[in-house]
Structure 1
Amino acid sequence: MQHWSWIWAAVESALQAQAQNLMHWTAFGFGLGIAAYFGVPREPGPLVFLAASLSAGLCVGLAIRFRTGIARLLIVIAALAGGFAWSQYRAHAVSGPVLSERFYGAVQGRVVGIDRSLSEKPRLTLDHLVLGSLPQRVTPNRLRVALHGRAQENMPQIGDIVLLAAHVSPPPGPAEPYGYDFQRQAWFAQLGTVGYTRSPVMIWRAAPADQGGLIVQKWRQKIGAHMAAHMPARTAGVAVAITVGDRMYLDREVQQTLRAANLSHLLAISGLHMGLLTSLVFFLTRALLSCLPYLILNWPIKKIAALMSIGVGAGYLMLSGASVATERAYIMAFTIFAAVLLERRAITLHALAIAAILVLLLRPEALLGPGFQMSFAATGLLIIVFNAMSQWTWTARWPSGTRYLMGSVVSAVVAGLATAPIAAAHFKILPHYGVLANVVAVPIMGFVVKPSAILAAALAPFGGEALGFWGMTLGLGAILDVASHVADLPQSVSHIKAPPPGILGLLAASVLFGILWQGRLRYLAVIPACATLICWVMSPRPDVLISGDGRLVGVMVQGTRVLNVAKGSGFVARSWLENDGNPISQKSAYGAMPSWLEIVDKGSHPMRPCQAALVVVQDWRSEPACGGFDLEALATAGGVAGRFDSSGRLQWITVRQAIGHRLWNSAELRDAKGHDPAGLKAR
């Protein structure tokens, strides 16, 4: 009995030590619950939702009742259960019809978004859809259509009602098992179908003067078009991206150059841009008000400047499109200036934890995206490092220029280290000279580009924005020169293969535990963190990949993926090669298939016995092949991946097995109206 009492006392003491980090642990538990929801293989039913909700409430009630060390654990468990239940509710709340099969015909809809596809084609997002004679109850809420050929001749505006003839289909699944799941992203964006058109787009009715909910999008489009028309093409795309969050004018080559130099974060309207803007507004407002002695003596000019910064930041949030990174940045900025109003300490991990909870309450699916992960990882590690550096008294004797240079270098190194595994997992790239590029480019952004953007906005009502555009062009040109120089250095980047499923989540959980836990137990987090990295490096890529339509086959030959066709299925081919960590062109990857693989097409039959080859049938007129794959099997599987086991036999896993049975990929879980049968959607 005494033995158990000692253990209980030790556990109670360890949990009591976490009291100061309770907000951090709450955010951690909430995120863990969201990850658990997205990680289960089958869609939870209403009983699971009810159990998770009741568990969260019960744990909160017990924590309030006892107020001991165990209460801290109960709060985290409540956050975990709440995150699971909230994600489930969110998934049902955004439910809508998803197109069940391919469709070609007349499409009518209202333009609510304009951007560019990966192939650099203009792309429209439409709502208020009418698809031929398709009943409205099964018509998707939104459609995204790429414009090819003549379709680009008559570009509509935000709010226009357009008519077009389009080829559309359901959102595609992953290119390979455990690959990027566009179906899930489309579900939460309420995109029920995607496609393309080559015919001209007819504007049936122009956007009315009263745009209603589209007024902000209309302003963004007009500002972006104005900037693109009055700035050089090389810098206009970057200028529009960092001003209104619109990448319509951004060249793909520029994006690749910035990514190779580890400067792509400059395109995201996140902490850097929001911090620079609100800080400039704060200091300029305070400086102007300080010019009048009466205001200094009688008005709280510091708090007035903080209120001005909060207002300008809110306007920038709306104008930029309110992405996840921008929301996080604004919540952090709001917290900082609210602390100024309340005369409290501002920049802490508590503020970051609050920001994480608020962002995930708005969009729990954001947890899985690179924007959320990179933004919070970089900000969190920067806060930890600079809080530690603030205790260094010996740096106070350094000249201000030296301290600034050290701060820039430390910021670049810390942000690079924090985001490197996330960037490698999502983008399969690891820049080597990112610190060098950031040390030069970030000051240019802060001291030239952002002040010029503010100047352009201030002078625009008087027709003097050209002066601000000139400053932005000068600064962005210098940044692009730096990016090009760094990207052209020898061995500037490494290409990384895709990690096995769950590796990034385990790595994040291990690191967060090591940071948040108070006590020696935190050092044990090094073991799972190192284990996940080793598993990432050592895990093999599939030996054979076959696309869902059977047209593309990729076989690993001596460590390099060989494809059966030099063109066609370009998106899938690019995804496979990037996930291999070898992003060569599809034409370069084309080659002869190994002798043990036979591809049957044009209604022919296998040339060899089934026991002698893996047979892939690519034509509906061919007879199904024993021991191989035909089109019907591949369509059901959504594509397959195979690895050779120790006995030399191929072990297969399908895309359908990998993605599970979820709302966004299973018509069986949705009724004819696109609503959920579980009854969780808000009515």
Structure 2
Amino acid sequence: MGKARANTIVANTIVPIAGEDEGDSRLPSRLRKWGSEAHLSSAVARLEALLADRGFERMPWLAVAMLAGIGIWFALPGPGEWLIALGLCGLPAGLALIAMRGDDRALLRNAAVAVPLMIAAGIVLIWARSALIGTEPVAGPRVAVVEALVLEREEQPARDRVRLIVATRDPLDARPIRARLNVPEEMDDPRLTAGAQFRAKLRLIPPQRAAVPGGYDFARAAWFDGLAASGSLLEQPAITREGGGIAGWRSRLAEHVREQVGRFSGTASAAIAATLITGDRGAIPDSDGQAMRDAGLAHMLSISGLHVGAIVAIAWLVVVRVGALFPWLALRVRLPLAAAGTGALAGIAYTLLTGAALPTVRACLAALLVVGALALGRQALSLRLIALAAMGVMLFWPEAVIGPSFQLSFAAVIAIVAFHNSRFVAWLRGKRGEGRGEGRLERLLHAGLLLFLTGLVVEAALTPLVLFHFQRSGVYGSLANVIAIPLMTGLTLPVLIGGLVFDAVGWGAPFWWAGAKSLDLIIALAHGTSSLPGAVLQLPQIALWAVLACVAGGLWLALWSGRLRLWGLAPLAIGLPALFLARPADLLIEQSGRNAALLAPDGRLYLLRNSTSFSAEAMVEAMGKGAQYGVEPFAEFPEWPGARCNGVFCQFEAEGRVLLVAQRPAEVPYGAMVAACARADIVIASRRLPADCQPAMLKADSSLLARRGGLAVDLSNGTTRAVRPQGDRHGW
């Protein structure tokens, strides 16, 4: 009786609350709505708890958001789209402020506001940087006699030339400009150092866009570097005022290092020694440089975090070890603080000595942050510190984000720190701690194993980026670095610096000998590693979305901890197969129309002109054939099966498309030109073709190529990609 009454009371209570009678059909929908709201509230609570538990893992994502904003600015075509992106960033931030007012959702609200605002900050930073320092290129080719002031000089003996950065005036409108000049060895004058003035006949052209889609875009780099033109000398320069200063002193220092090391070794070791001391890379022979890259040792040829960190560490250890020998000094002076100050000064001095290039400055700033953390007794390397360093770089040089130097440097450091903070490394160190009686050999083996595993992780992190930028990557880099990194940091750099110091009293020869022999060993290691079977992974150009998926997955794995990081495997599962399934374009047309590359179904590559020009190299690498370039010649278009060429036209069929190359269209009568175009699907010409020339698919003449740049064509589906996308309104 009591149970039945209780049921009646419950039923009578539900109906008034629902506002319906017992037969109302809307009651289940109301209950479902309450259930969904409960589930939503539970999900929000779980997300809030997740953010609260990961206080040290939230901050690096702000740097990722800023980086994403900069990338969005480069990806979108112009100001209208940039403003829309800024508005879309403000929308979720405003909604979060309105909808999440309670203190129980403070972390989630802050994240929903901070992330879009950091994306917007990235867009604004790069937009402002482009507007403030972007340099308008010269309108067209110029040939004139001008006065110029040398700003920088780069020795490039391996290419039989010298490269100068000069300040001069546009011969047409007399506006001040900066230009990059290539000076042939026979026209060079040793007095052409920074501060020198000369008068000469120059040929200046606008900075060139990428030869093919996805290639290196010098015009974009020149826009941010303040270069309005590039060109060459057409006559011997007449020096009107000699230069001097630190740039000339650096050139003489580089020559001194090459001379001293060259007494005990070959050209390659002497050139790399000069690179390590002064940052001058121009003397490294191409074959040795390529071997270093294929062996995964290319980071040793550019002054980066490895070199700056080694210099700072050497200075730190010298101060700490020497100071510890004198108890009265150690008791009166805080040696860690003194070592930090000495290391910072050494890092700054080394950066200035090597020319203070942007990658070196970034490495120095990161090293200073580490030194500061050590001086304060904080953790030397953490993901928060790396994020802070990245945000500092993006604040001053946001354009660096899309370059390989920034990406590879920070990817390597993030991989190293994330790996060494992982549970696996903690377990490995714990196992070592259990064996406290281990000898020196066991400690060395343990350190070698850890270095090898670190190398594997770094190689895995860098490979998608390296393949995206360079289409080739060394496979055995982790093995080579186990030997090369300790050798470089523990012997080569210290003895080269010792050679400079002891040259003052005439005792530098033993140091130069040791440095030469260690560099010989590194070069031999590079050649041995790069010549192993399967040492080089060569791929065609990779789609941007594929590498972005890999980067997103890698960042998720690195920046989170615990089981949450495993979600990063999802984008990796999408991006990695796309990397290795990438197929090249069927046809590449470089921006001048004077050269093109065509891939046959059997994988053989045909070039319109088989030359060693920069554009030919770019096309060959984009096709995934760079490993063969320069080793064996490629076929030319007339050798294509069934091709019909007469010196004026070259016509053939590929993938069911009729291709027509007009090699000398000016010599063809108007009617014959129009008729030939009508029979073709694609026409390629280095000159402007008549308006009535209407091929079925694509007319790649000088008019189109001047507007859009080089082209990549998929013959099977008829799609075309250009260096300059349709509607692009970036300054360069």
Separation in structure 1 between the aligned mates of residue 157 and residue 79 of structure 2, nearest angstrom: 31
Offset at 1:535? 2.5
User: Paired residue for 1:226?
Assistant: 256
* Contact map agreement 2:92 2:112 (CA 8 A) in 1: no
Separation in structure 2 between the aligned mates of residue 119 and residue 168 of structure 1, nearest angstrom: 24
Separation in structure 1 between the aligned mates of residue 62 and residue 687 of structure 2, nearest angstrom: 54
* Contact map agreement 1:167 1:196 (CA 8 A) in 2: yes
User: Paired residue for 2:551?
Assistant: 508
Unaligned ranges ≥5, structure 1: 665-683
Further displaced range: 586-595 or 402-411: 586-595
1:268-347 → structure 2 map (5 Å cutoff): 268-347=302-381
Offset from partner CA, 1:598-617 (integer Å, 9 cap, x none): 22233224474623553333
1:175-324 → structure 2 map (5 Å cutoff): 175-207=211-243, 211=245, 215=246, 217-232=247-262, 233-324=267-358
2:634 aligns to what SS in structure 1? helix
2:159 aligns to what SS in structure 1? coil
Offset from partner CA, 1:75-108 (integer Å, 9 cap, x none): 2222211111111111112122310101111232
Residues 469 and 609 (structure 1), Cα distance of their counterparts in 2 relative to 1, 3 Å cut: closer
Separation in structure 2 between the aligned mates of residue 585 and residue 447 of structure 1, nearest angstrom: 36
Offset from partner CA, 1:221-250 (integer Å, 9 cap, x none): 232122123221221211111222221222
* Contact map agreement 1:617 1:625 (CA 8 A) in 2: no
| Aligned residue identity for 2:256 | H
Residues 147 and 641 (structure 1), Cα distance of their counterparts in 2 relative to 1, 3 Å cut: same
* Contact map agreement 2:211 2:618 (CA 8 A) in 1: yes
Aligned residues: CA RMSD: 3.0
Offset at 1:190? 0.9
Offset at 1:476? 0.7
1:548 aligns to what SS in structure 2? coil
Residues 589 and 41 (structure 1), Cα distance of their counterparts in 2 relative to 1, 3 Å cut: farther
Residues 60 and 185 (structure 1), Cα distance of their counterparts in 2 relative to 1, 3 Å cut: farther
| Aligned residue identity for 1:492 | A
Offset at 1:419? 1.5
User: Paired residue for 1:672?
Assistant: none
User: Paired residue for 2:113?
Assistant: 74
User: Paired residue for 1:114?
Assistant: 153
Unaligned ranges ≥5, structure 2: 1-36, 641-651
Separation in structure 1 between the aligned mates of residue 680 and residue 688 of structure 2, nearest angstrom: 23
Offset at 1:451? 1.4
1:598-637 → structure 2 map (5 Å cutoff): 598-602=660-664, 603-604=667-668, 605-606=672-673, 608=676, 610-619=678-687, 625-627=693-695, 628-637=699-708
* Contact map agreement 2:158 2:284 (CA 8 A) in 1: no
Residues 295 and 182 (structure 1), Cα distance of their counterparts in 2 relative to 1, 3 Å cut: same
| Aligned residue identity for 1:651 | T
Residues 484 and 26 (structure 1), Cα distance of their counterparts in 2 relative to 1, 3 Å cut: same
Residues 617 and 342 (structure 1), Cα distance of their counterparts in 2 relative to 1, 3 Å cut: closer
1:136 aligns to what SS in structure 2? coil
* Contact map agreement 2:584 2:624 (CA 8 A) in 1: no
* Contact map agreement 2:660 2:677 (CA 8 A) in 1: no
Runs of 4+ that moved beyond 6 A: 52-66
| Aligned residue identity for 2:729 | H
Separation in structure 2 between the aligned mates of residue 538 and residue 406 of structure 1, nearest angstrom: 32
| Aligned residue identity for 1:561 | L
- Say which structure, 1 or 2, has more relative contact order (CA 8 Å, 6+ apart): 1
User: Paired residue for 2:4?
Assistant: none
Separation in structure 1 between the aligned mates of residue 496 and residue 591 of structure 2, nearest angstrom: 47
Separation in structure 2 between the aligned mates of residue 31 and residue 489 of structure 1, nearest angstrom: 38
Residues 321 and 77 (structure 1), Cα distance of their counterparts in 2 relative to 1, 3 Å cut: farther
Offset from partner CA, 1:105-141 (integer Å, 9 cap, x none): 1232222222367982434333431243x3233x43x
* Contact map agreement 2:196 2:242 (CA 8 A) in 1: yes
Residues 83 and 302 (structure 1), Cα distance of their counterparts in 2 relative to 1, 3 Å cut: same
Separation in structure 2 between the aligned mates of residue 166 and residue 55 of structure 1, nearest angstrom: 53
Offset at 1:45? 8.2
User: Paired residue for 1:402?
Assistant: 445
Query: Larger Rg: 1 or 2?
Result: 2
Further displaced range: 110-119 or 339-348: 110-119
User: Paired residue for 2:136?
Assistant: 97
| Aligned residue identity for 1:403 | H
Offset from partner CA, 1:657-680 (integer Å, 9 cap, x none): 26822112xxxxxxxxxxxxxxxx
2:385 aligns to what SS in structure 1? helix
* Contact map agreement 1:336 1:347 (CA 8 A) in 2: yes
Offset at 1:288? 1.4
1:191 aligns to what SS in structure 2? coil
Residues 585 and 341 (structure 1), Cα distance of their counterparts in 2 relative to 1, 3 Å cut: closer
Residues 203 and 51 (structure 1), Cα distance of their counterparts in 2 relative to 1, 3 Å cut: farther
Separation in structure 2 between the aligned mates of residue 378 and residue 204 of structure 1, nearest angstrom: 47
Task: Return the match for 2:496 from 415, 438, 453.
Answer: 453
Task: Return the match for 2:407 from 373, 377, 385.
Answer: 373
Residues 289 and 521 (structure 1), Cα distance of their counterparts in 2 relative to 1, 3 Å cut: closer
1:419 aligns to what SS in structure 2? helix
Separation in structure 1 between the aligned mates of residue 550 and residue 302 of structure 2, nearest angstrom: 24
1:270-669 → structure 2 map (5 Å cutoff): 270-388=304-422, 389-391=425-427, 392-396=429-433, 397=435, 398=438, 399-517=442-560, 520-558=563-601, 559-567=603-611, 570-583=613-626, 584-585=628-629, 587-591=633-637, 592-593=639-640, 594-595=652-653, 596-602=658-664, 603-604=667-668, 605-606=672-673, 608=676, 610-619=678-687, 625-627=693-695, 628-645=699-716, 650-657=718-725, 660-664=728-732
* Contact map agreement 2:69 2:122 (CA 8 A) in 1: yes
Counting aligned pairs with the same residue, the percent is: 24
Residues 86 and 48 (structure 1), Cα distance of their counterparts in 2 relative to 1, 3 Å cut: farther
Offset at 1:11? 3.3
- Give the TM-score normalised by the residue count of structure 1: 0.88
Residues 286 and 105 (structure 1), Cα distance of their counterparts in 2 relative to 1, 3 Å cut: same
1:229 aligns to what SS in structure 2? helix
Separation in structure 2 between the aligned mates of residue 264 and residue 123 of structure 1, nearest angstrom: 22
Offset at 1:308? 0.8
Separation in structure 2 between the aligned mates of residue 326 and residue 406 of structure 1, nearest angstrom: 29
| Aligned residue identity for 2:38 | Q
Residues 53 and 99 (structure 1), Cα distance of their counterparts in 2 relative to 1, 3 Å cut: farther
1:231 aligns to what SS in structure 2? helix
* Contact map agreement 1:437 1:483 (CA 8 A) in 2: yes
Separation in structure 2 between the aligned mates of residue 261 and residue 405 of structure 1, nearest angstrom: 18
1:130-145 → structure 2 map (5 Å cutoff): 130-132=169-171, 134-137=172-175, 139-140=176-177, 142-145=178-181
Further displaced range: 378-387 or 516-525: 516-525
2:195 aligns to what SS in structure 1? coil
2:378 aligns to what SS in structure 1? coil
| Aligned residue identity for 1:611 | R
Residues 355 and 83 (structure 1), Cα distance of their counterparts in 2 relative to 1, 3 Å cut: same
Further displaced range: 48-57 or 397-406: 48-57
Offset at 1:651? 2.8
Separation in structure 2 between the aligned mates of residue 624 and residue 635 of structure 1, nearest angstrom: 19
Residues 46 and 580 (structure 1), Cα distance of their counterparts in 2 relative to 1, 3 Å cut: closer
